[in-house]
Amino acid sequence: MIDIRGRRFIVVANGGGGEQPGNDGEIIITVMLNGINGTPGAQIADFKYNKDLALILEKDDGGDGDYKTLFRWLEKGENFNGSQGTAPTYTDGCGNPVKWKASFAVPTIGQNGDDMHNGVNPTYTTWAQYAEAHEKGWTLLNHAYGEDADTKYEDREATIKMNEIKFFNELIQYGVYCRTRHLVIPDTQEGFTSSAFSMGYKTVGSAFGLNSDDRQNDKQFNITNFNVDRLMMVREHLGDEWVQAMQDYAIPLAMNRLFGFKGQQKAAITVFSHGPGIIESQYNYFKQFTQYVSNRPDNNDCLWVPSVHEFWDYLETKKKSVKTEVVTGNALKITINQNAIPVLNQFRDLSLIINGGSIASVNVTGADGYSFNGATGLINVRKKKTVFLTPELDARPAKLLSATAAGNSIALVFESAITQSIAGAWSVQNNTVTGISGSSTNWSIDLANPTSAGTKMYYRMQNGDATTVSNGLKICSFIEYPIS
């Protein structure tokens, strides 16, 4: 059981959205076999480390418990009083311990318009703390920019993209490149699912079991029909206060459901909470939760506990990698081409199972490191992308510059030309849309009755076809957009 650390390199995205030229997209694994038994080959494991089950932990809203409870316990192993404890780990299947990870669904602007994470308000985790966690493999989820009057919250594309940009600009000050393709819907609000998927997001998490806006996404998280392009995740709410009742009932119920799949199929569960905070009882109940899961008799090191990005990226990497094999004598050469992996994929790790002979030795090039278990035939290859372009360079749909009341119509002005033909995608508070007209950057929503400033306007992109002429990107949803 050996762990070998290889060279570390950086992959940089270019302006065209791809990766810079070179051989960084190829991993070569050379396996020397003790003996040939049938036809040697390699199979990419369904889950990283060839685990049976996955537990995905999320915490919402950016409170100080993100760092001072979850990260402090799981990454540092500290007890509430500051003494050293032993946080749960699992193995990589090759004898090496792996720490649990989690993800944070983070909004960034409070209702007063202030940055929630600049260190002024001590009840929130700071950007410096998020940067430290991100470097350790924890990840940030987009929870919308904010709800004050200046954050363009009603423009779903704007509030999603502004939060992406905020993540990137804050963490880059600590030398950390942060990009996310995962969104958690704020509360039960509409318009986020279809907008996020149109913007290239890969998962949208729902706190309350919402269906997606466009009815075209998976409602449940089921590995047997996993959609690598888009997934609507229904998250299990474990409560917020982490009290005894949850410890006695909610946690065992959720974990029994997950572990019930063991030996039947690969399965994952996403659980979330707005806590625990930095209250001693909540801290300790969260510790008990992790110890309960880790020490279950039916666990036996079968559980993978990754961040959302690590979990998603592994399945995407598995699907997008192209594997070829050549056998020469007792040597099995495996070449894995990863050039088709999307540019924003961060964790490009793979776990492989070798068959047709027992492993004598392994050599890997083109990766950050690897480990292997000669007894089970498992090989883990580690490869992480650490540098990304700013989301400010991303192509975006045409921006709505103004929506102005004009008698029995609303005058819309976009920053660049769009096309559209479906009036039914638009609606106006206490009014009826009778048609749309216009061209290029100037359009009119025609109404049955006069309207006035302050009235709310809606555009539901799943019902419409408004499209940016220059780049083909769809106009995203506007929900309760105020008319001027």
Same domain, 385 and 451: no
Same domain, 430 and 292: no
pLDDT of residue 17: 35
What span, in angstroms and rounded, lies between the C-alpha atoms of 421 and 7? 54
Its pTM stands at 0.90
Same domain, 328 and 445: no
State the CATH number of the domain containing residue 404. 2.60.40
pLDDT of residue 338: 96
**Overall number of domains in the chain:** 2
pLDDT of residue 9: 21
Domain edge (last residue) among 365, 394, 423: 394
> What separation in angstroms does the CA of 402 have from each of 184, 405, 412, 442?
28, 10, 6, 10
* Residue 472: HSE in the Cβ half-sphere, 13 Å Cα cutoff: 0
Same domain, 440 and 291: no
- Comparing CA positions, the residue from 436, 441, 442, 440 lying closest to residue 459 is 436
Same domain, 307 and 444: no
Query: What are the two backbone dihedrals, phi and then psi, of residue 395, each rounded to the nearest 5 degrees?
Result: -65, 140
What span, in angstroms and rounded, lies between the C-alpha atoms of 365 and 376? 22
What span, in angstroms and rounded, lies between the C-alpha atoms of 30 and 362? 6
What span, in angstroms and rounded, lies between the C-alpha atoms of 230 and 163? 20
**Count of CB atoms within 10 A of residue 424's CB?**
11
What span, in angstroms and rounded, lies between the C-alpha atoms of 259 and 42? 27
pLDDT of residue 234: 63
Helices 280-295 & 251-259 angle (0-180, nearest 10): 20
3-class state of residue 391 by DSSP: helix
Which residue range(s) make up the domain with 121?
Answer: 1-394
Same domain, 343 and 456: no
Domain edge (last residue) among 330, 360, 394: 394
Same domain, 23 and 49: yes
State the CATH number of the domain containing residue 337. 3.20.20.370
Same domain, 188 and 256: yes
Same domain, 31 and 160: yes
Q: Output the tens digit of pLDDT for each of the chain's 484 residues.
A: 333 323 222 222 222 333 333 335 899 999 999 988 889 999 999 999 999 999 999 999 999 999 999 999 999 999 999 999 999 999 999 999 999 999 999 999 987 889 999 999 999 999 999 999 999 999 999 999 986 545 678 999 999 999 999 999 999 999 999 999 999 988 778 898 889 999 999 888 875 544 445 443 333 334 444 555 555 566 777 877 777 767 777 788 889 989 998 998 888 888 889 899 999 999 999 999 999 999 999 999 999 999 999 999 999 999 999 999 999 999 999 999 999 999 999 999 999 999 999 999 999 999 999 999 999 999 999 999 999 999 999 999 999 999 999 999 999 999 999 999 999 999 999 999 999 999 999 999 999 999 999 999 999 999 999 999 999 999 999 999 999 9
Same domain, 363 and 455: no
Domain edge (last residue) among 366, 394, 422: 394
Same domain, 219 and 149: yes
Same domain, 148 and 281: yes
Give every CB contact of residue 264 below 8 A, 6+ residues apart in sequence. none
Token pair 């500051």 in the structure block, residue: 82
* Residue 235: HSE in the Cβ half-sphere, 13 Å Cα cutoff: 27
What span, in angstroms and rounded, lies between the C-alpha atoms of 130 and 119? 12
pLDDT of residue 150: 57
pLDDT of residue 199: 96
pLDDT of residue 214: 45
